[in-house]
Amino acid sequence: MEPEVERYYRIVESHLKEVRLWEETVRKFPPMTIREAVRRIIDRLDEYGIDPEVLDWGAMFESLKDFSTVAEFIKYLERERYIPPSREEYIEVSSDELERELTELLDKAKDVDIDVVRRIRDRISDILGEAGEVARLKREVEELKARVKRERRLRDEYARKYEDLQKTIERLRNEIENLRREVERARRLPIPPTVPVEEKRARFEYHLKSQIPRVYRIDWFRDIPLRCRISVHRDEWDRLLSKIRELGGEFIEEAPVRPPMRVAVVDFSEAPVPPAPPPPIEWERMILWGKFSAAISAAGGDPERYRDRFEEVLEALADRPFSERQRAVEILARDIVSEITVPPRPPVRRPPPAPPTPPPERVVVGLVMPEPEVTTRIDPETGEVFLSLDDTSLSILKKVLPFPLEWYMASPSRQREEFRWPTLLMAIEDALARPEVHIPAWVFSVYPWILEFLKRARDRLREAGAR
């Protein structure tokens, strides 16, 4: 190649000297730079199999002095069609454009529906896979170009490979353009709100625990955010599996555990987000109405007859804390129960008067709360002495927090290590933090004071130093 470069350089030098442009040209471009320009032009012609003899080298270089760099001069020759465009440059520019357009697509798609984003990402992955084909063709073209310089017979194969590469790039550009139109359409649609992982977990827990009372515990994986272990009583196993399918979850396996527990490993990653639990205000209203109606019904009355008085109390205390509204509803329920259970006047009889009929005993089920007390217990398995609640309190908790009997009788350390569940104090704290998830709805009707009872039990255990 070098003798060929030197030959055409001499033609350029001789012509520029004849037209008295040589001195002006070499002041701007030294001879080595002019040789480099000649070499680049010959390389470009070799890409297309064009004989350098077809060019008027001298006349072509008369304008070199008018440019700042050789690159600008080469671009000028391309524009004026003295030489064909660079295939190498086309490949590089096209590859960069494809990469930039894909990046812009991903940036635009972040503001659209997650399902559209997922579909677009899958399609972009396919395009990136096809981009590997572009890279392979590009390497083959470069290898053929190097060989063409030595073997002129390979020019046709080189041209074919370059044509294949052009078609592949154009096809990918069309794919990206179709994706861009899809993204633009999706951006004009309203975006559904994104539900955080913690909120999704809370919703799944609510729908499981509120409908299957003996779901004891739900432990979420750290590495897979929506995969969990669900501990349930064996009698509820079939109901649990049915509910998992209803929520769109995938049952993975059953983990080994001591009877009567059974533990299901479940993945909700692909499940639709379930509806949110009732809003706090509505939930509080349900709790208070449950307490109120349970007390009235136990006294033999019809709660609906007194709904207006119930609503008046809630409306009057709408801006007050829940504890105040609860006390007001309890007082109203007591007053109504007193009205319902007023004894009739004794009948008038001739002497000796019969003893008056004793008034019926007032029944106020659910409004009398036992006071939780702390006592010392001994673990039946290990003999460890520990602090727990008295028998009356535990009998209530067994109905509210459906852990097995063995767990209630175990020490805090055995509750954590053997059962792998929270301690009694931790379970009470969890129930108070999210009662709508951990406490079944029926409990508020049977034990309307349950939240206050749990608070006092928690405080007693903390004061006594329980773990």
Which residue ranges make up each domain of the chain? Answer: 3-85, 112-188, 197-267, 281-340, 374-464
Q: Give the span between the Cα atoms of 248 and 203, in whole angstroms.
A: 13
Strand partners, 255: 263
pLDDT of residue 344: 53
**How far is 438 from 441, CA to CA, in rounded Å?**
9
With 90 as the cut, is the pLDDT of residue 170 above it? no
pLDDT of residue 363: 38
Output 54-61 pairs: Cβ under 8 A, ≥24 positions apart: 55/82, 55/83, 57/8, 57/11, 57/12, 57/15, 58/11, 58/12, 58/14, 58/15, 58/16, 58/18, 58/19, 59/15, 61/12, 61/15, 61/16, 61/25, 61/34, 61/37
pLDDT confidence bin for 303, thresholds 50/70/90: confident
Helix axes 424-433, 450-464, angle to 10 degrees: 140
pTM higher than 0.75: no
pLDDT confidence band for 238 (50 / 70 / 90):
very high
d(CA 83, CA 310): 93
**Using CA atoms, how far apart are residues 150 and 282, in angstroms rounded to an integer?**
85
User: Which region among 118-127, 156-165, 209-218 has the lowest average model confidence (pLDDT)?
Assistant: 118-127
Q: Residue length, the chain?
A: 467
Instruction: Answer positive or negative: Cα dihedral of 456, 294, 288, 329.
Output: negative
At 396-425, the pLDDT tens digits run 888 788 788 788 888 888 888 888 788 888
Helix (H) or strand (E) holding 227, with range, is: strand 227-233
Residue 359 is predicted with a pLDDT of 44
pLDDT in tens, 51-69: 888 889 989 899 999 999 9
What DSSP character marks residue 82?
A: S
d(CA 437, CA 439): 6
What does the pLDDT read at residue 364? 40
Give me the pLDDT at residue 413, please: 87
Tokens of 88: 């190498």
The DSSP result for 397-443, as a single string, is: HHHHS---HHHHHS-HHHHHHTS-S--HHHHHHHHHH-HHHHS-HHH
Please say if the pLDDT value at position 140 is more than 50: yes
Query: Residue 240 has what DSSP assignment?
Result: H
Digit-coded pLDDT (tens) for 10-24? 999 999 999 999 999
pLDDT at 354 over 70: no
Q: Shortest CA distance to 216 belongs to which of 262, 166, 257?
A: 262
- Residue 56, Cβ density class (10 Å: 0-12 exposed, 13-18 middle, ≥19 buried): exposed
